[in-house]
Structure 1
Amino acid sequence: MDTGKLTTWVDQVQPILLAFGLKVLGAIVVFVIGRWLISMVTGLVGAAMTRQKLDPTVQRYLVSFITVSLNIILVVAILGYFGVETTSFAALVAGAGVAIGAAWSGLLGNFAAGIFLLVLRPYQVGDYVGVGGVEGTVLELGLFGTTLTTPDNVKTIVGNGKIMGSDIKNFSANPHRRVELVAQLAGSADAHKAIALLKDAVSKVPNIAKSPVVDVEILEFNEFGPKLAVRPYCHTDHYWQVYFDTNKAIADTLGAAGFPVATRPLKIYPV
C-alpha cells in the first residue's frame, strides 16, 4: 500500500474517530449521571411516600413506574445526542402505550382508583362498609380491588373502579349506629303506654348505647293503627345482635302487656 495514501487516510479518519470517541465518552458520562439522578429522584420519592405512610405496595408500583419512565427518557436523550432520529421511536413507544392502555383499560382504571383509595383512605381494614352495592367487613384494600366478608360469610372482591364510581358508606367511621325498627299497634291500643313500655324494655337490651337514648315515637298511622318507630343506638360490631334482640323485646313487651294484635280492618262492600 502507498505510504502517502495511508497517511492521508489516517489523517482524514482521525478527526472522525476522535469526535466519535468524544461522543461515546460524553454519552457514557450522561448515562452515568442520568442513572445517578434517577436513583436520587426515586429515592426522594420513596422517602416522601414513606413519610406519608403510603401503602408499601403502592410505593413499589409508583417507584417502578417512575424509574422505567425516566430510563426511557434517558435512552431517548442519548440516542438524540448521537444524531439518531428519535421521532419514530417516540411514536412507537406512544403507540405501544395506547395499545396497552386500551387492552388493559379496566385493570388500569381499577389500579388508578386503588391509588386514590389508598391515598384518601375512606375506609380501612376492619371497617364495615357498603361499596359498589356490597356490604361487608374489609379484609384487604388492594391495588385493583377491595376484598370484603359479607354478613353471610362470603368472601367478595369489588373492583376499585366500581367503588370510586359509586357511593361509599363507612358504617364504622362514627362511634355508634342507629338501628331502624318498627312496632305496629292495633287501632284500639294505647300508643303512649306502648311508647313508655318499649323505651324501658329496649333500653335494657345488651350492648345498646347509653347516649343517644332509645327513640320510640309514632312514625305514622295506617289502616291497622299507629306504627311506632323503635330506634336504639349501638356500635357497628353489635348491630345485628341489637337488631334481633330489640325485635324480641318489642314482641315480648307488647305481648306481656296484653296489647291487642293489629289486624286488617274488615271492609264492608255494598250489596
Structure 2
Amino acid sequence: MPEFLQNFDINQYMPAAIAWATNILLAAIILIVGFWISGRAYKAVFAIGKKYERLDDTLFRFFGSIARYVILAFVFIAVLNRFGVETTSIVALIGAAGLAIGLALQGAMSNLAAGVMLMIFRPYKVDEFIEAAGQFGKVTEIDLFTTVMQTFDNQRIIIPNSQIWGQQITNHSFHEIRGVDLTFGVAYNEDIDKTRSVINNVLAAHPHILKDPAPFVEVSELNNSSVDFIVRPFCKGEHYFDIRYSLPELMKKALDEAKIEIPFPHRKVILVKEE
C-alpha cells in the first residue's frame, strides 16, 4: 500500500465532506424550490391582468417578470450564503449597480414609468383614434416605453410614452356616438328659417347621421359678412370622418340649389370726394 494512503485518515475529512455534501444538497433544494416559487409568482401576477378585463396583460407580464427575478436574486444569494460566501458586499454591489444603471437610463425610466401609468389608467387602447403629443392617428401598439400610431396617410409614428403622459390626450373613439361640429355661413339677406330647413333636409338624407339624438342646427354668430349656423349631427364613431368630409360638399350643393347665397369675406369701402 502506498505510504500516503497509509497516512490517510478518513475520519479526519469526514465532517468536512458531510458539511459540503449537506450544503450542496440544501443548495439544490433551495434552487428547485426557488425556481418553483418564482414561476408561481409570475403566473399569479399575470393572472391578475387576465382576471380583470380593464387591466393590461403587458403590464402584468412585466410585473410578473420583476417578481420572478427578484425571487431568483434572493435564491442565488441564499445559495451563495450556504457555501460561506459573504453576501453583504454582493447585495451592496447589486444596489450600487442598479443605481448607476438607473441614472444612466433616466430617459428610458421616465418612459417606463409613463408606460406603467398608461397601462393602469388606460386613457386609450389599440385600434382607437387619439390625438396626443401633437400627433393624430390610430393606435396600433402600446408597450411599456412607446406608443405606435398609424396616420391617415399611412405613416408609422413611434412616440415615447413620457411625451404622452402628463399632457392632454384626446380619445376620439372612447364614446360610441359622436357629434360632428361644422359651421356654415349664409348672407344676411337670406331667410333663416328657409336656410335651417335646407340644412335639416341634407342631414335627414345622410345615411350615417342618427335621428336620435337629433342634429343640432342653430344660428351661432352674426359675423362680419355672414350669418353663421352651427351644425352638429350625431353619428357612430366609425362614421365620424365620412360625415366630417362629405357634409360640406353636400351642404354647398343644397344651398346653391335653393338659391341661398354663401358669402365670402369682403369689405365695403366708401369713397367720399372732397369739394
Please state how far the C-alpha of 1:218 moved relative to its aligned partner.
0.8
Partner of 1:268: 270
Task: Give matches, 1:50-89, under 5 Å.
Answer: 50-52=50-52, 57-89=58-90
Q: Is the aligned partner of 1:109 residue 2:107?
A: no
2:270 partner letter: I
CA shift for structure 1 position 266: 1.0
5 Å-filtered alignment, 1:1-271, equals 19=19, 22-52=22-52, 57-262=58-263, 263-268=265-270
TM-score in terms of structure 1 length: 0.82
Query: Secondary structure of 1:125's match?
Result: coil
Shift in Å, 1:205: 2.1
**Whole-angstrom distance in 2 between the partners of 1:28 and 1:136:** 53
Unmatched tracts of structure 2, length 5 or more: none
* Contact 1:184 1:228 (8 Å CA) reproduced: yes
Question: In the TM superposition, what whole-angstrom CA distance separates every residue of 1:101-132 from its partner, at most 9, and x where no partner exists?
Answer: 22333233333433443344332222222222
> Which whole-Å CA distance do the structure 2 matches of 1:118 and 1:21 have between them?
48
1:240–1:90: structure 2 CA closer, same or farther, 3 Å change rule?
same
RMSD after superposition? 3.1
* Rounded Cα–Cα distance in structure 2 between residues aligned with 1:261 and 1:61: 58
Q: 1:169 to 1:40 in 2, by over 3 A?
A: same
Query: Deviation per CA, 1:175-207, whole angstroms, max 9, x where unpaired?
Result: 221111111122222223212221122221231
Give the percent of matched residue pairs that are identical in Structure 1 and Structure 2. 30
- Give 1:185's aligned amino acid: V
Checking the alignment, whether the CA contact within 8 Å between 2:111 and 2:146 is kept in structure 1 is yes
CA offset at residue 228 of structure 1? 1.1
In the alignment, the residues of structure 1 paired with residue 50 and residue 84 of structure 2 have an alpha-carbon distance, to the nearest angstrom, of: 41
Write the distance in 1 (CA, Å) between the matches of 2:180 and 2:245: 10
**Paired residues, what number?**
269
Report SS of the residue matched to 1:33.
helix
Query: Aligned pair in 2 of structure 1 residues 216, 141: CA closer, same or farther (>3 Å)?
Result: same
Task: Note the residue ranges of structure 1 that are not aligned, 5 or more in a row.
Answer: none
Distance of 2:146 and 2:22 partners within structure 1: 52
Question: Is the CA contact 1:176–1:209 (under 8 Å) kept in the aligned structure 2?
Answer: no
1:217 offset after TM fit, Å? 0.7
Alpha-carbon distance between aligned partners in 1 of 2:48 and 2:231, rounded to the nearest angstrom: 50
